[in-house]
Structure 1
Amino acid sequence: MRLMLERSLLLIVDMQAGLMRVIEHGEQATTEAAWLGGLAGELEVPVWITEQYPEGLGGSEPHLLEALPGCRLWQKVHFDAHAEPAFASALAESGKRQIVLCGTEAHICVMQTGLGLLEAGYEVYWLVEATASRRAAEAVLAKERMVQAGAVPVSADMVAYEWLHRCDNARFKQAHRRFLRPRAGRTLIF
């Protein structure tokens, strides 16, 4: 169950401007998602972002989109992104089987997307510091439920170093200069 660069995709669920202002630990979640997304882009891991009903909740958090210019954006009406036929088809065609999952709200769209992915046979890695809800207790409960269902809880650093795999090559040195420095104020919130 080790994360492999060539098998991975980072999926950021519904970090939308209209929602983030009421999310407990929302700023940290966005910062961590942007940080790992930036590294993913550097390592050519696809980054997909979903938006739930953007007409009402607004588009994705501008800081996130600015940090991830190469991301693929998906709009959805199902809480489970995998229930969207075009999304499910594109994911299957990508050949990526390891999904690093994060976003908001943990207990609604992130969890339902994770459950849908697990049911479809994907490996799901729950990115703890980048997954939040309006109430932290609900994010904790969502993580517990996902772990019981088969998801693996991970931190951004765990993912980064598994993707990099070794320290004696140019890829690691480039990533280390740009991404692998300590980030102030980080805590594992859940």
Structure 2
Amino acid sequence: MSRQMLPKLSASNSLLLICDMQERFRNTIKYFPAILQVAQRLLEGSKLLGLPVVATEQYPKGLGRTVAELDLAKYNVPVFEKTCFSMLQCDKVASHIQSQFSDRKTVILCGIEAHVCIYQTTIDLLEKNFNVHLVVDAISSRNQVDRFFAFRQLERLGAFLTTNECVLLGLVQDAGKPQFREVQKLIMNLTPDSGL
């Protein structure tokens, strides 16, 4: 049996994608407050470490805009509207990533729903030879069965399952770096239970 090597995280080679963290999902997605808190942490950490961030909104006319707590405008995060489930099937997202971040080969992915938009985005990213790190405590669905089996399937296809703290400390890599103290402040408070 061959062993798959886990690509080392690097802030200079990675990109954070935030998928469809929208208002309409607030009351339907399992553990939404927890995954929102973790997404906020990832967003703040990404900005501290100079990691670019791209966000999408699935049919915002019907599902609302990105939740206010993420405050994407504050971080100058580009937000793309889409109707396709995969973020990469949206031409504007795909061309933005290709034109702005073609040197980045690792994607850190969070958002909703695990078995739909996250699932299809991950497959497209893997087909384009990206290393995909799914932040499981920042990804959910309307029910746990869909969530768990999406994670199982995506891991078998080659995605890496991880947590927000693992990602943030993996990006810092060294407690001697100046960014470590700021990242440490982000992770000091335990995140609420996300059902995993």
Cα distance in 1 for partners of 2:143, 2:79 equals: 26
> Which of 27, 33, 38 is matched with 1:27 structurally?
33
**Structure 1 runs not aligned, ≥5 long:** none
Which letter maps to 1:54? P
Cα distance in 1 for partners of 2:33, 2:118 equals: 17
- For residue 53 of structure 1, what is the aligned residue in structure 2? 59
RMSD: 1.6
Which letter maps to 2:173? H
**Residues 1:139 and 2:147 aligned together:** yes
> Which of 29, 50, 61 is matched with 1:44 structurally?
50
Cα distance in 2 for partners of 1:148, 1:99 equals: 17
- For residue 68 of structure 2, what is the aligned residue in structure 1? 62
**Structure 2 runs not aligned, ≥5 long:** 1-6
Within 5 A, what are the aligned runs for 1:151-170?
A: 151-170=159-178
Instruction: Indicate the SS of the match to 1:180.
Output: helix
Deviation at 1:150, TM superposition (A): 0.5
Is the alpha carbon distance of 1:108 and 1:76 closer, same or farther for their aligned partners in structure 2, counting shifts above 3 Å?
same
Deviation at 1:67, TM superposition (A): 8.8
- The answer to whether the Cα contact below 8 Å between 2:134 and 2:160 also exists between their aligned partners in 1 is yes
Q: How big is each residue's C-alpha offset from its partner over 1:137-180, in whole Å with a ceiling of 9 and x where there is no partner?
A: 1111111111011100010010011110101132212333x423
TM-score (norm 2): 0.90
Cα distance in 2 for partners of 1:106, 1:65 equals: 22
- The answer to whether the Cα contact below 8 Å between 1:128 and 1:189 also exists between their aligned partners in 2 is no
Cα distance in 2 for partners of 1:168, 1:69 equals: 26
Cα distance in 1 for partners of 2:114, 2:191 equals: 23
Cα distance in 2 for partners of 1:80, 1:139 equals: 16
- The answer to whether the Cα contact below 8 Å between 1:9 and 1:96 also exists between their aligned partners in 2 is yes
> Which of 82, 85, 89 is matched with 2:91 structurally?
85
Deviation at 1:66, TM superposition (A): 5.8
> Which of 155, 172, 185 is matched with 2:180 structurally?
172
Cα distance in 2 for partners of 1:12, 1:55 equals: 18
TM-score (norm 1): 0.93
Which letter maps to 1:23? I
- The answer to whether the Cα contact below 8 Å between 2:35 and 2:194 also exists between their aligned partners in 1 is no
Count how many residue pairs are aligned between Structure 1 and Structure 2.
188
- The answer to whether the Cα contact below 8 Å between 2:168 and 2:183 also exists between their aligned partners in 1 is no
Which letter maps to 2:142? R
**Residues 1:14 and 2:20 aligned together:** yes
Deviation at 1:35, TM superposition (A): 0.7
Q: How big is each residue's C-alpha offset from its partner over 1:19-75, in whole Å with a ceiling of 9 and x where there is no partner?
A: 121101111011101111101011110111110000000001111126963222111
Runs (4+) of structure 1 moved beyond 3 Å?
none
Instruction: Indicate the SS of the match to 1:96.
Output: coil
Q: How big is each residue's C-alpha offset from its partner over 1:74-127, in whole Å with a ceiling of 9 and x where there is no partner?
A: 111110110112211221221221101111111001111111111111111010
Is the alpha carbon distance of 1:98 and 1:66 closer, same or farther for their aligned partners in structure 2, counting shifts above 3 Å?
closer
